[in-house]
């Protein structure tokens, strides 16, 4: 690689690495959101299992509402995970095109 | 009032707990005599003597209530008991709603901090590989810029690692809190 091309590549790399960083971060962030809601759901379900029979109708409904809310958020997070993953695949392709070699970045081979 | 329980028997332990709780609440006001059976031979002898088929068995209001479900139904037949249980469960529901909200935020924060750590690690990997391969051909300016990016990413990575550790520690405390409040292990971590 001659000096000029290397410098252009370096400039492009800074932009692409930044994109990659944000898409990777958002992808993992969405995975974290999904997991956090799953844990929340688990606690609420276990609570309902243990105290459900003794709860008043009103409180039971509130807990059930929270469960439904968590389920909806999990669905949304799953969609976001797919979207960010697709963006990440594009970033990876661009980086490979720029660097002329295959990237073997662990963790970017599945849909999480 | 007489309670027959078996040693190291989960249902017996639960029955004893709910009856003592009912006594404490004032739902039951009789004196409670507890007989703890040590083994199967004692159980067989007691079953024959008292005419009961299983333990735990509670003698109250002139009859035997056998097994945890029957004992629980007997207690549920008291309106005041149901009210106390409902009030207690409702209070727990208020606590659990706040705890789960906090748990979600902390868990999400922990995962987000981990995401930042990993993203910086990947970014660093890209820059380092590039620098290694093009070190000889890059202009001094660009090399300095890439090195500055690496230094910045290393610093941010270190900060993100600390944040992730702090979130994790908070999460552990929170889980211990959930365990204390509800007397059981939710096993969410």
ipTM of the complex: 0.78
What are the structural domains, with CATH classification, of chain B? Answer: 2-77 (3.40.30), 92-182 (1.10.287)
Report the topology of domain A3-98: Helix Hairpins (1.10.287)
Identify the closest residue of chain B to A27 by CA–CA distance: B115
Task: Work out the angle between the directed axes of helices A3-51 and B79-134 (0-180°, nearest 10).
Answer: 170
Q: Closest partner residue to B90 among A37, A39, A56, by Cβ?
A: A56
Q: What's the per-residue H, E or C state across chain A?
A: CCHHHHHHHHHHHHHHHHHHHHHHHHHHHHHHHHHHHHHHHHHHHHHHHHHCCCCCHHHHHHHHHHHHHHHHHHHHHHHHHHHHHHHHHHHHHHHHHHHCCCCCCCCCCCCC
Say yes or no: B90 contacts chain A, CB-CB below 8 A: yes
Q: Report, as ranges of residue numbers, the positions in chain A whose pLDDT lies below 70.
A: 1-3, 101-112
- B108 within 8 A of A36, measured Cβ to Cβ: yes
**pTM recorded for the entire structure:** 0.74
CB-based contact, B72 to chain A, within 8 Å = no
Query: Average pLDDT per run of 10 along chain B, which is 189 residues long?
Result: 94 93 87 91 88 92 93 92 89 87 92 94 92 88 93 96 95 83 57
Instruction: Chain A: give the shortest CA distance to residue B19, in Å.
Output: 16
Contacts of A55 in chain B (CB under 8 A): 86, 89-90, 93
Give the Cα separation of B130 and B56 in Å (integer): 72
Q: Which residue of B has its CA nearest to A103?
A: B126
């Amino acid at each position: 690689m001659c000096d000029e091309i290397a410098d252009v590549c370096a400039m492009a790399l800074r932009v692409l690495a930044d994109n990659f960083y944000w898409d990777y971060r958002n992808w993992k962030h969405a995975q974290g959101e999904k997991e956090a809601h799953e844990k929340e759901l688990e606690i609420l379900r276990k609570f309902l299992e243990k105290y459900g029979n003794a709860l008043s109708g009103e409180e039971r409904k509130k807990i059930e509402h929270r469960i439904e809310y968590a389920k909806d958020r999990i669905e949304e997070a799953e969609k976001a995970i797919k979207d960010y993953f697709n963006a990440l695949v594009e970033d990876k392709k661009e980086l490979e095109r720029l660097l002329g070699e295959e990237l073997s970045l662990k963790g970017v081979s599945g849909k999480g | 009032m007489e309670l027959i329980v078996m040693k190291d028997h989960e249902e017996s332990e639960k029955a004893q707990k709910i009856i003592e709780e009912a006594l404490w609440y004032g739902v039951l006001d009789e004196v409670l005599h507890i007989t703890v059976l040590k083994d199967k031979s004692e159980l067989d002898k007691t079953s024959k003597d008292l005419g009961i088929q299983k333990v735990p068995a509670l003698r109250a209001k002139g009859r035997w209530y056998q097994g945890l479900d029957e004992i629980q139904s007997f207690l549920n037949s008291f309106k005041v008991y149901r009210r106390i249980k409902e009030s207690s469960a409702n209070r727990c529901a208020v606590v659990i709603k706040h705890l789960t909200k906090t748990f979600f935020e902390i868990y999400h924060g922990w995962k987000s901090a981990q995401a930042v750590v990993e993203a910086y690690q990947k970014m660093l990997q890209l820059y380092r590989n590039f620098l290694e391969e093009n070190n000889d051909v890059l202009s001094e300016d660009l090399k300095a810029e890439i090195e500055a990016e690496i230094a910045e990413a290393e610093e941010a990575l270190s900060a993100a690692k600390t944040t992730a550790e702090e979130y994790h520690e908070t999460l552990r405390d929170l889980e211990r809190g959930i365990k204390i409040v509800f007397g059981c292990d939710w096993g969410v971590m």
